[in-house]
Amino acid sequence: MLKSAYLIFNPVAGQGNPEQDLARILSVLDSEIDLHVRETTEDIGADQIARQALEAGAEAILVSGGDGTISAAANALIGSDTPLGIISRGTANAFANALGLPENIESACRGILKGVTKQIDVATCNERPMVLLAGIGFEARAIENANRDLKNRFGRLAYVFSSFRELRSIKTFKATIETDDKIIELDATAITVANAAPPTSILAQGPAGILADDGYLDLTVVTASGFGDAMSVGFRLLRSAINSDAVTDNSNIGFLRSRRLVITTDPEQKVVLDGEIVDDSPVEITCIPLGLTIFISEELKAEPDDAIDQMPDVMVTDKPKA
């Protein structure tokens, strides 16, 4: 039974009142466990606070904020036995949605108190932690243009509005995707590499059945030549997410699973990592199987979809053996 924990609280996350949100968390947790509260600032991030908590011998670390805050805190816990509790207060809350965790603050807190944990995969992207996904191209540009004012006014719809703006000027780029055994060259509009992804992350849904504990990264490649083509692709990916069936038409949607991926593009493309704009391409992404322990509310799905390798028009070569 959980007796104590450190709470990392991001006061600028989401659209709610941070003082009221913190009070709601304390109303559930403070009377049940010894809770040490630390707030992030512009100078002190969630990763730094999490490392300090580990050094202090924390029994558990809880994080309340958006996906970027969660990813940063998780960075400090990779490879440790200390469990991470998620109390989502972000705009998208994609991590909670991907793993079936409650978005309601009180429900999330009560779930943590039950003390049920699960080991899940994490990944590194250019040596940065990745708990959700990395997007190259279209998604990165859409998220970059969904600024804080837009998110404060419209919440999750901000990403929808920004995406529609991007559809007016679809951009295609050349990409080279390197796995452990082959090199793939193709044209792409968007490339998404997922460790875990909710159904709302449409551009990650090529293979469907994305699991956070299977030891693999799931890559989806989309090529679209205009607005109508992009809408058609979006519909097929949405259907894939809803039905949990991999896309079968490979004319402009491709996917594969791999433990490691190196992706280069021409020209360089923006990269979004767990909801935050980071470096430009290229990227190297590596899965760390069962590298993070989290509190869960229910067991994760057990089986991935069988279809694991499909690509649109490409050039594929085998990598020479070392």
Domain map (residue ranges) of the chain: 4-115, 128-290+302-318
Is the sign of the CA dihedral 62, 64, 70, 76 positive or negative? negative
> How large is the average pLDDT for residues 266-282?
90
At 30-79, the pLDDT tens digits run 999 999 999 999 999 999 999 999 999 999 999 999 988 998 999 999 99
Share of the chain above pLDDT 70, in %: 76
Secondary structure letter of residue 232 according to DSSP: H
Q: Considering only the C-alpha atoms of the chain, give the largest distance between any 2 of them, rounded to a whole number of Å.
A: 60
Question: Do residues 284 and 125 make contact, with C-beta atoms less than 8 angstroms apart?
Answer: yes
At 241-269, the pLDDT tens digits run 666 667 766 678 889 999 999 999 999 99
H or E element: which one contains 273?
strand 270-273
pLDDT of residue 157: 45
> How large is the average pLDDT for residues 167-180?
83
User: Is the model's pLDDT at 1 over the cut of 70?
Assistant: yes
The strand pair at 117-125 and 128-130 is best described as antiparallel
Pick the CATH number of 128-290+302-318 from 2.60.200.40, 3.40.640.10, 3.40.50.300, 3.40.1280.10: 2.60.200.40
Q: What is the mean pLDDT of the chain?
A: 84
* Higher per-residue confidence, 319 vs 214: 214
Q: In angstroms, rounded to a whole number, what is the distance separating the alpha carbons of residues 205 and 223?
A: 14
Question: Do residues 138 and 189 make contact, with C-beta atoms less than 8 angstroms apart?
Answer: yes
Superfamily (CATH H level) for 4-115: Probable inorganic polyphosphate/atp-NAD kinase; domain 1 (3.40.50.10330)
Contacts of 238 by beta carbon, 8 Å cutoff, 6+ apart: 202, 205
Q: In angstroms, rounded to a whole number, what is the distance separating the alpha carbons of residues 240 and 232?
A: 12
Which value, in Å, is the radius of gyration of the alpha carbons in the chain?
Answer: 19
pLDDT of residue 302: 45
Q: Which residues pair with 187 in a beta bridge?
A: 174
H or E element: which one contains 53?
helix 46-55
Question: Do residues 286 and 124 make contact, with C-beta atoms less than 8 angstroms apart?
Answer: yes
Q: Where are the beta strands (DSSP E) in 66-215?
A: 84-88, 117-125, 128-130, 133-137, 173-178, 182-188, 190-194
> How large is the average pLDDT for residues 159-170?
51
